[in-house]
Structure 1
Amino acid sequence: MTLSDWISIFMALIASASALVTYIVYRSSTDPLIIVYANPDPTRPSLVCLTIKNIGKGAAYNINFQTSRPLPSQAFSIPIPENMPDEMTKGPIVNGIPFLAPDQQISFAWGQYGGLYKFIGDIAITVNCTFRRSGSPLTLTKNLKSISKLDIKSFEQSESSEHGFGPNIVKELKQLNKTLKNYNL
């Protein structure tokens, strides 16, 4: 083999690697990515919401979930209750979701720390998600996968007070009203 043959092989390898990197960047900028997570509700003190979100850049179709263990449903109790909360038997995690646009999310009240901890305990629940990206004649549609972990133990010492200006404004207006009444205005 001559030097020009080696250079040709080297250039072909570089071109192939460049095409692969370009394809990976293209896929990451157009594929959907579904995550599932627990999140405290900032407007309703002590509630934990379960959120399903498409954080990818493309639309997701035929989204299905499989959990390592059953999930609780309506586990509403701040202290750890005596009775075990019910198992989730309906909703998007059980039934799946036909479509999520990029940055779209579905969120619903899941429970409170005590009820969720009674059901889940110290070991996180793994949520395997399968979904499809949009297909066109030029691209192949295939099942994509993501894995999320649902953990309630991390909320153990978290704050569950109401946030925002609403409650503070009400307190201030009540105090102002008391002050004005004292001046008989």
Structure 2
Amino acid sequence: MDYLAQIDINTIGGGITAVATLLLAILTCVYVILTGKLLRAQTRPCVIVRVVHDELAPTLLLLHVENVGRGVAYDLSFHPDRAIPIAAFGIERPPKDAPITTMADGPLINGIPALGPGDRRVFNWGQYGGLQHALGDRPLIIYVKYNDGRRDLIDKSVVDAASFEGTDASDRNPVRACAKQLESIAKEMARWSSSGMLRVNNINIIDEQERIRKIIEENRN
């Protein structure tokens, strides 16, 4: 009986060891798969199309195509759900029968061979009113197809102009602000000069220095 009991214990122990080994192998396999997916995600390109204000001319809206991922995207092609408007200018919405210009060439039509991490293409898209007229009441959906050198990928972007209604489009360009201030100063000085309020005398520096020297010597004497 003791011999049979010992066999049963050994059998059970061996079974537990086999099950534990199998579970460890499964967990290791899952870990390797998840680690591989995580590494691929960290090096995956991600191409988006978005709308931003032009910082130098805030009433203008720019269309950015940008790779915000960490890998290079190759052979990019763009597939919008309808024609992409371009140069849709006008702060106020134009009449309903106003013509609409759409893209006929360029990167969004012909594609992009490669786009590295952080690389972008920028388009002068238009202004709020003109884009509202061109897009209508629906946002524009653009699918971007490309590959990372190993597999085909696709990203979806949704762009619109309606969400910019009421946003701050004030001019904060410091260069333009300085230019306006200088222009204002120049006009004011011209006004003073023409009215006799401002008089500028040309001074010979050498003569002025000699005059000051004589005054100092006279004071010493």
Smaller-chain TM-score range?
0.7 to 0.9
Larger radius of gyration: 2
Deviation at 1:55, TM superposition (A): 0.7
Task: For residues 67-109 of structure 1, give each alpha carbon's deviation from its aligned partner in whole angstroms, at most 9, with x where no partner exists.
Answer: 1122112111211112031222212111111111110000010
The 3-state SS of whatever aligns with 2:99 is coil
Aligned residue among 146, 169, 182 for 2:155: 146
> 1:43 aligns to what?
56
> 1:160 aligns to what?
169
Task: Give the root-mean-square deviation of aligned CA atoms.
Answer: 1.9
1:49-88 map, 5 Å: 49-82=62-95, 83-88=98-103
Give, as a single letter, the amino acid of the residue that structure 2 aligns with 1:25: L
> 2:46 aligns to what?
33
Give, as a single letter, the amino acid of the residue that structure 1 aligns with 2:128: Y
For structure 2, which runs of at least 5 residues remain unmatched after alignment? 1-11, 201-221
Higher percent of residues as helix: 2
Aligned residues: 179
Aligned residue among 135, 139, 164 for 1:120: 135
Higher relative contact order (CA 8 A, sep 6+): 1
TM-score, with length taken from structure 2? 0.74
Aligned residue among 78, 86, 107 for 1:92: 107
Deviation at 1:175, TM superposition (A): 5.0
> 1:4 aligns to what?
17
Identity among equivalent pairs (%): 28
Structure 1 Cα separation of the partners of residues 144 and 71 of structure 2 = 16
> 1:138 aligns to what?
none
For structure 1, which runs of at least 5 residues remain unmatched after alignment? 135-140
The 3-state SS of whatever aligns with 2:108 is helix
